Structures are given as structure tokens and as C-alpha cells.
Amino acid sequence: MDLNCDMGESFGRWRLGHDAELLEIVTSANIACGYHAGDPLSITAVVREAVERGVALGAHPSYPDLSGFGRRSMRMAPAEVEAMVLYQIGALDAIVRAAGSRLRHVKPHGALYNDAARDEALARAIASAVARYGDLRLFALPNSALAHAAADAGVPTWREAFCDRAYEDDGSLRSRRLAGALVQDPEAAARQALDVAVHRRVRTYSGATMAMEAETLCVHGDTPGAVDIARSVRTALERAGVRVSAAA
């Protein structure tokens, strides 16, 4: 099981997240590409640290929305989405290659991730960008429009489950605008991680149980308890005998 986290979400004078600590815990890092966060210099710093620690690197492209942190849906034409995803992947990969490594995956950020789970045209645009760049896998919600588009485009996919976000009964993530969207207790997050990794299921917000197959587990990096949650999840997985690694 891979353990991934969003990183590089500082911007200029503003610091966000706990990249240094989290790089000790996770196995894949999704790096902001400048559209919702991440200036070239702060990206460079986190990329170098990730390379040193052997953490696998991925691009975390977003809608162009610094003031909204990429969390607002924007109605963009698919052709423009494809171009902007290529732009962000290439920009990040240049910095990653200069640091002696290369990109392994792409995970859309925020509203782009959520919209691509449902909107087929958007999903195809993203999958096409990743396919054209080549040699990358996509992280996608299981059974989402993005997962299907990736399969159609011949892009390898890792299904992603979340440790610290609540699920609705249809398998979508509970909206951040609703109460109970976040799982903030480290033990609850660890239980959710074990449910996915060992039992191949997840308990939804309503209390139902649904099947959940995933190759990568996400922990968020920008909450106050992020490091505790990540550590709790990793420890629980290892105790349960799950191999935590970004190796396919």
C-alpha cells in the first residue's frame, strides 16, 4: 500500500503544511505546481527533500486559482484543461529532473479532482494530458469518471482511498462545506486506513459499509494534526503487516 500526501503548498512568504515531517512518513508526495500553491523556489525545496528521502514524486495540478487554493470549481473548456495540466506537469518535472529524479504520478487537486470524478469530458482531458506526457500513472477515486477515462486512454491508475476524509454512500468524498467532512482523530484515521488496506472496505458517514479497493492511501498535510494522523496511519498499517511502499 502506498501512502500519499499533498505537499509544496507554500507560496512565497506564506508557509503551509508540515512537509519535512511528513516526508519521513509517507511514500508518495503530490507536489503543488503553481496554480493553487507552490512557487518555483518552494517547490524546489520540497522536491529536493523528497528526493533525498526516496519519496516518490507526483504532480498535483489544479485550476488556476491561488486565492481559492484550487478548491472552487471553474467552468473550463476541456481543451484548456488538457493544456493547463500538461503545463503544470512539465513545469514540475523540470524541477524534479534538475533534482536528479523524475515524476511518477499525477493527482489532480481539490475542485479539479472532485469535478473529474464526475465530469467525463474533464476526466478525458486530464487523462489525455497524462497519456501524452507519458510514463506516469494517475491517482483517481475508484470507479470515478477519471478512473474510467484513464483506462480508456491507456494510462495506468492507482485507486486512491482517504484516511482523513468522510465518505458518502455513493463513494464520493463528503464535501468540505458539510460538518463531519474531516476525520481528525488519529485513531479513527488509522482505523479507516486499516479498513481499506486489510478489509477492502470503508465505513461511510451514514454508517454503511462499502467495498473499497485502493493501491494508495491519502493523508492530508495542511491540517494542524496532519503529522499525528499520518504517523498513526503508518504505524497501524505496519503493525497489521501491510507493506507501505510506492513500489508498484
Q: Which residues bind a second copy (CB under 8 A)?
A: 9-16, 34, 37, 39-41, 43-44, 64-69, 71-77, 79-80, 83-84, 86-95, 97-98, 111, 129, 132-133, 222
Q: What angle do CA 28, 179, 37 make, to 5 degrees?
A: 40
Other residues' Cβ atoms within 10 Å of the Cβ of residue 41: 10
Query: Distance between CA 109 and CA 66 in Å, rounded?
Result: 12
Cβ within 8 Å of residue 219, ≥6 positions away: 3, 4, 5, 22, 26, 163, 164, 189, 226, 229, 230, 233
* Residue 78 or 156 with smaller CB distance to a second copy: 78
**Cβ proximity to a second copy, 154 vs 241, nearer residue:** 154
Min dist CB 197 to a second copy, Å, is 30
User: Whose Cβ is closer to a second copy: residue 20's or residue 41's?
Assistant: 41
Q: Shortest gap between Cβ of 25 and a second copy (angstroms)? A: 22
DSSP state of 171: S
Minimum distance of a second copy from residue 39's CB (angstroms): 5
CA–CA gap between residue 44 and residue 208 (Å, rounded): 43
CB of 128 to a second copy, least distance (A): 9
State in angstroms the smallest separation of the CB of 114 from a second copy.
11
Shortest CB 112 distance to a second copy, Å: 12
CB-nearer residue toward a second copy: 98 or 211 = 98
Q: Is 77 left (phi over 0), alpha (psi -120 to 50) or beta?
A: beta
For 75, 189, 219, the CA distances from 183, given in Å and listed in that order, are 29, 6, 10
| Maximum CA extent, the chain | 47
Please state, in angstroms and rounded to a whole number, the distance separating the CA atoms of residues 190 and 208. Answer: 18
For a second copy, the closer CB: 3 or 129: 129
Closer to a second copy by CB, 13 or 241: give it: 13
